[in-house]
Structure 1
Amino acid sequence: MLRRILLRAFLGLSAAALVGVPSTVHAVDSATSFPTRPVRIVVPVAPGGSADKLARTLALRLGEKWHQPVVVENVVGASGTIGAAQVAKARPDGHVLLLGGEGVTLNASLFKTLPYDASQAFRGVSKAVVNPQILVVRPDLGVRGFQDYVALARRKPGEISLGLPGNGGIAHVAHEMLSRQLGIKVNYIPYAGGAPATVDLLGGHIDATLITLAAVTDYVRAGRLVPLAVTTPYRSKALPQVPTLAEAGATGFAVESWQGLLAPAATPTAVVERINRDVAAVLNEASTRSQLEEAGYVVVASSAQELDATLARDLPKNAAVIAASGIALR
């Protein structure tokens, strides 16, 4: 009797052990063979802006490395939450990724309800770059420096039309912080991304925009837009002549944004680490790094764990910023 009981126990343990083996093997195999089909990078803003440019640079290089198509898909709407929701609900195997940024954590406080839980829906893959935001105006506005901009905004409160690359995004938050610090008021015009805001600014339909520097570097160099200041506590190597806002008169002001890849939360760690290694290899290629830095990005190529830590830190921090700024999405 005892012998039969021990035999059953042994067979049960053996079966249980065998049940556990395939999942481990599968996780390793999935990372080794990844990707097994085309990969989608969802960009939750309009084509042509800095996020879109970064995504297309990564897609081209990763496609060459993976021998699979890497497709950039712009899914626009609701301040980026429609695209983010698609990724949050996607099959968690690494084949659908989000080109996201601080908007992921800002939207958690801006929207009363979201179709996903921002604190649980994603895991970091790589913080690819950090970016200065830059305040630029159209040349015929008659503004040649940041103090001219402040003087005009004070003289004509609410008359400067400032295009936003997204309602409630980092540019909105940063300019609202600036407005409160200096006692100025502008008329915010939200767009579905940086590219359409830039097009309207170049066309003279709006007066200014606060935008990721990499989206407008070429226009500044060509003299088609007038740069006033960058939001970071350091000047950009791409446009070293442009002062920081702190240097230009907004004492102590500093805002830095980031862009990178996120995956659905349940994506296996082995797959995330595989993508992270390949993204880092691509970003650290001399030609890619040079191309991105020339455009105004600051290449970071962080670990997945570093991006997870950023998300965890920024959720409560940005909630406090949103509450203090008084920004509300109507």
Structure 2
Amino acid sequence: MSSSRSRIRPFFRSLLALPLIALALGAAHATASNADDFPRKPVHIIVPVSAGGSADKLTRILADQLSVLWKQSVVVENIPGASGVLGAARVAKAQADGYTLLQQGESLTLNSLMQPRLPYDADRAFTPIIKAVVNPQVLVVNPATGIHDLREYLARASARPESISLGLPTNGGIAHVAHEILTQATGAKVNYIPYPGGAPAALDVLAGHTDATLITLAAVTEYVRAGKLRALAVTTPYRSQTLPLVPTVAEAGGPANYAVESWQGYFAPAGTPPAIVDRINRDMQTVLQSREVRAQLENLGYRINGGSPGELAKGLQQERPLYAKAIQTAGMQLR
């Protein structure tokens, strides 16, 4: 009798386990189904800087094409402030369902290094989706300054410290890091003026309210071509195909080993189902590789990157020690 009972008990335990297995399989099927018919309502992409800058232009180009592909509205929301922290915090608190996304680049890492008391854990609050594009930063001046090249810029900033006013698209952002590395190596010193994004920083240089800005090339390409701004140098070790006559910092008389490259990507709140993350990644890849979008972005100065969520996650891990060293070496502080 006891042996019969021992055989029966495993049998009943297996019966009890069947609903749990079915539930797990059903959940997996539901997630896959949700990804297949994603999105079923409007998707919101948070851009944590002011409208009109390079990040905003990129996101609106992608949003227009994604709305066609998805047959749903893709709404771009600009939430500037605190060097991008306010917009990132909004996404960190959003439901992890793929319907609220964050546009972000190296500022995600820089903010975590420069601002220890963030309202979110930068390493755990977001799920990487895609590193969409890379591009140079470019140092531009208002032609009325009379500065014609990088050597003149550095000479004036060294001989007359803080006589040049430089608008920072974000305080503590990649432009801040890039310029600090340059000035620490050359002894030049400028008057930093922080802005809530690239657009207002560029507009004030255009209007003559500030002398210069170091900014994503895509944000000012049209102004440089029109002669409204003078480009002195790009921060990458290679010239941009968009503005091939603009030299690199090293070519223009700056440090020989100088190299800073910016990027823009997209993230979802942590916990977003992998199937939905993969769906968004796949559709963004499709849009980025389309002839129309590629032409638009390359004309602005971007280089298409793409890649998987895992590749973006790996890139984040690699850039953190590099920027941490640069910030420490330059003695940077948020002003």
- Partner of 1:34, secondary structure, is coil
Q: Distance in 2 between matches of 1:320 and 1:90?
A: 32
Give the structure 1 partner of residue 146 of structure 2.
142
Give the structure 2 partner of residue 323 of structure 1.
328
Two-structure CA RMSD over aligned residues (Å): 1.0
Number of matched residues?
330
Q: 1:266 is matched by which residue type in structure 2? A: G
Q: Residue 321 of structure 1: CA displacement?
A: 2.1
Unmatched segments (≥5 aa) in structure 2: none
Q: Residue 120 of structure 1: CA displacement?
A: 0.8
Q: 1:7 is matched by which residue type in structure 2? A: F
Q: 1:209 aligns with which of 206, 213, 224?
A: 213
Q: Distance in 2 between matches of 1:316 and 1:245?
A: 23
Confirm or deny: 8 A CA contact 1:108 1:315 kept in the other structure.
no
Give the structure 2 partner of residue 234 of structure 1.
238
Give the structure 2 partner of residue 248 of structure 1.
252
Unmatched segments (≥5 aa) in structure 1: none
Name the % identity.
54
- Partner of 1:245, secondary structure, is coil
Q: Distance in 2 between matches of 1:160 and 1:216?
A: 19
Deviations 1:46-85 (A, max 9, x none): 0000000001001000000000000000011111001001
Q: 2:286 is matched by which residue type in structure 1? A: A
Give the structure 1 partner of residue 113 of structure 2.
109
Give the structure 2 partner of residue 295 of structure 1.
300
Q: Distance in 2 between matches of 1:47 and 1:97?
A: 17
Q: 2:188 is matched by which residue type in structure 1? A: I
Q: Distance in 2 between matches of 1:58 and 1:172?
A: 27
After the TM superposition, which residues 1-330 of structure 1 pair with which residues of structure 2 at under 5 Å, given as runs? Answer: 1-250=5-254, 251-330=256-335
Q: Distance in 1 between matches of 2:107 and 2:219?
A: 17
Deviations 1:198-234 (A, max 9, x none): 1110100000000000000000000000110000000
TM-score (normalised: structure 1): 0.98
Q: Residue 329 of structure 1: CA displacement?
A: 2.0
Q: Residue 3 of structure 1: CA displacement?
A: 4.3
Q: Distance in 2 between matches of 1:26 and 1:184?
A: 59
Deviations 1:146-189 (A, max 9, x none): 11111111121111000000000000000000000111100000
Q: 1:261 is matched by which residue type in structure 2? A: Y
Q: Distance in 2 between matches of 1:22 and 1:87?
A: 28
Q: Distance in 2 between matches of 1:318 and 1:151?
A: 27
Q: Distance in 1 between matches of 2:146 and 2:238?
A: 26
Q: Distance in 2 between matches of 1:317 and 1:13?
A: 50
Q: Distance in 1 between matches of 2:8 and 2:307?
A: 56
**Runs ≥4 residues deviating over 6 A:** none
Q: Distance in 2 between matches of 1:224 and 1:112?
A: 39
Q: Distance in 1 between matches of 2:322 and 2:95?
A: 30
TM-score (normalised: structure 2): 0.96
Q: 1:23 is matched by which residue type in structure 2? A: A
Q: Distance in 2 between matches of 1:146 and 1:317?
A: 25
Q: Distance in 1 between matches of 2:175 and 2:121?
A: 23
After alignment, is 300-309 or 205-214 more displaced? 300-309
Q: Distance in 1 between matches of 2:43 and 2:298?
A: 25
